[in-house]
Chains A and B, each alone.
Chain A
Amino acid sequence: MTHPNMLEIRDLHVYFRGYEGVSRVLDGISLNVGRGERVGLAGETGCGKTVTMKTVMGVLKIPPAMVPHGEVILDGQNVLEMSAKQLLQIKGTRISMIFQDPMNALNPVFMVGEQLYDVIRFAQGDSGTGRKRFGTEIHDRAIAALEEVRLPDPERILRSYPLELSGGMRQRVLIAMALVNGPSFLIADEPQTALDVTIGAQILDLLSELVRTKGISVLLITHNLGVIQETTERVYVMYAGQIAETTPTPVLFKNPKHPYSQGLLASVPRLTGGEIAEGIRGTVPDYTVAPSGCRFHPRCDYVMSICSQRKPPSFPVEPDHYVGCWLYGKEGGSK
């Protein structure tokens, strides 16, 4: 079964019911990740990146979350319609993930080996009730997985508790866990932010190399444009639960179209000098009373009357470049 795209998100809406009312966190986003493609999802903290990720992973808690509309097609199957059993079968083996904070993503009271063994064991269809099957085989695979992420002395690592390892080592362990069962799709949620800059860079390099050699499709979620530039081929810019712009990564940095992308790039300080970075005025909106139409309109310098009335569709400006902004639509003028 080969579906052209590894992941297709179509018009996904995710709402949360809370004390303050209904938060419309995702307001119809669409997103594709091709086979073997490395795609970035960029946006500020709180724009809905993590919710997108959780929806794809099928770990969104419903309720308080609800998905009034939309599809998440992973390798030809709709994740939202999968049974718990089906979801379990694809996790780890077809789809896996790298977590943001390696300090918290490993269980502190179990040895690394025990956690890694379980990950390997269940992928082989072990129900967990019987005695441990393939004892040495599991051990060998665990060692191989740790060697692959260049951890020295893997035997010792297996017998260590997470808190005996450094942050970088823990993230390597987590990468080993994510990749050990050979997934074809990987979600990475800011895998470098919780680490020192140099360690984070090493982790990213390692990750890029591994996914390239294994041909794994990647959705990399981050607020760090530098990371997007270095590690992805295509990028989605997200603002407040809407996709603002999608384009091949280099194009975004040369020729951003959406006013939000422009503002975002302008706010990145450059080492080459030049004018002082400017921010975008205003703040990310409250999702219970999100702005109507294009959610960016209250902060936009080019706002038009239509912006607050209707949500803009994705307008193509070039073959691979789509912008969710009325400036590029038929109704709107050009900039």
Chain B
Amino acid sequence: MEADESALPLEGSKITITSWMAFKDKIGRGWYRFRRNPISLAGGSMVLLVILLAILAPYVTPYPRHAGAFTDFSSTFQAPSGSHWFGTDEVGRDVFTRVIFGYRVSLMMAVVVLGLSVPFGVFLGLVAGYFSGRIETVIMRTTDIFLALPPLVMALAICSAFTPTIEKAMLAVASIWWTWHCRLIAGITRSIKTEEFVQASQAIGSSHARILFKDILPNCASALMVKITLDAGFVILVGAGLSFLGLGVQPPKPGLGTMISYGAQHLPMKWWLTVFPSLAIFFLILGFNLLGDGLRDMLDVEAEGI
């Protein structure tokens, strides 16, 4: 709000966290705000719903056998109905079942890619931001090179070196994804390493490792949480793109991108083959984005690069 300094109390002032405990406290206070924000609640529920459906896929889907190389030529290309909510595909498999199983692949992609790239990127980011000089230059110039290509193109190029499978696609995406986290963390580290509590820690002779992981890392945690949430959506998007181009999930495995790519051949008559997997992807990515946006408000993150 504008006008008077009196109109608002001292809110929005940047508080530096000095320990993991303080970070937990921040989460606690943030959770209070989070619960009151309908948008982030909606995002969280969407993501949670998809995760639950994916985990319980064999139990909640009507035709779990349709997730693989199943064929039933008596019921091909059926329009959506009570028994097949999303219709059936060219070999008679239930699209709803395959969408839910497709979610498994998408979520697995996000977990694997971020699980591999985040620790790597965070570590390099801490190092680059904390030790200035040659190390920083080398690391940051390397990220520049990786960022000179759109993620999808880079992933495509790396995929091209291997036989296309979803596992290879995950590795390819992970091998470029660390750069984003590296730059984010390096930026935060650079700005807080001059703060008093870090200098105090240096003065009492803490090791570099202690300073990096006990003093600096907690201050990156909020930004990182937001970044990871938003990235989950983005990784799934790139994964779907790779599958759509035939370099990700290979049939008969159900991948959302793959399903859309096959469905597109039957447009416009068999529209359900394209529309439902598309909506499914949209739903999941939107969920992650709403959640990430809510987290950003909740944790009051303003770092560059998110």
List residues of chain A with CB under 8 Å of any chain B CB. 16, 18, 23, 25, 45-48, 50-51, 54, 60-61, 64-65, 284, 286-287
Q: Apart from A18-B1, A23-B6, what are 4 other A-B pairs with CB-CB below 8 Å? A: A16-B1, A16-B3, A16-B7, A64-B2
Cβ A18 vs Cβ B7 within 8 A: yes
Distance in angstroms between the alpha carbons of A287 and B9 in the assembled complex: 10
Q: Are A25 and B6 in contact (CB under 8 A)?
A: yes
Interface residues of B (CB under 8 A from A): 1-7, 9
CB–CB B7/A287 < 8 A: yes
* Residues of A close to B4: CB separation below 8 A: 16, 25, 46, 48, 50-51
Question: Chain B: interface secondary structure?
Answer: loop
Q: What are 8 inter-chain pairs, A to B, with CB distance below 8 A?
A: A18-B7, A25-B3, A25-B4, A46-B4, A46-B6, A50-B3, A60-B3, A287-B6
A291 to B40, CA, bound (A): 37
Min CB–CB distance A113 → chain B (angstroms): 29
Report the minimal beta-carbon distance from B33 to chain A, rounded to whole angstroms.
12
- Report the tally of A-B residue pairs with Cβ distances under 8 A: 38
The 4 closest A-B pairs by CB, nearest first: A46-B6, A51-B4, A50-B4, A46-B5
Q: Using CB atoms, name the residue of chain B closest to A46.
A: B6
Say yes or no: A50 contacts B5, CB within 8 Å.
yes
Q: What's the nearest-Cβ distance from chain A to residue B3, in Å?
A: 6
- The minimal Cβ–Cβ distance linking A51 to chain B, given in whole angstroms, is 4
A64-B6 in contact (CB<8A): no
In chain A, what residue has the closest Cβ to B8?
A18
Assess the B6–A61 pair: CB atoms within 8 A: no
* A64 lies within 8 A of B5 (CB): no
A47 touches B6 (CB 8 A): yes
Shortest B86–chain A CB gap in Å is 43
Chain A residues with CB below 8 A from B1, complex form: 16, 18, 64
A23 neighbours in B (Cβ, 8 Å): 6-7
Contacts of A48 in B (CB 8 A): 4, 6
Chain A residue with the shortest CB-CB distance to B2: A61
How far is it, in angstroms, between the C-alpha of A286 and the C-alpha of B6 when the chains are bound?
Answer: 8
Residues of B within 8 A of A54 (CB): 3
Nearest residue (CB) in A for B1 is: A18
Alpha-carbon gap, A160 to B224, bound state (A): 40
The closest CB in chain B to the CB of A285 belongs to B6
Q: Once the chains are docked, how many angstroms separate the CA of A278 from the CA of B184?
A: 47
A78 shortest CB reach to chain B, Å: 20
For A61, give its contact among B3, B5, B9 (CB under 8 Å): B3
Please give, as numbers and ranges, the residues of chain B lying within 8 Å of A286 by CB-CB distance.
Answer: 9
Residue of B nearest to A53 (CB): B4
Chain B residue, CB-CB nearest to A47: B6
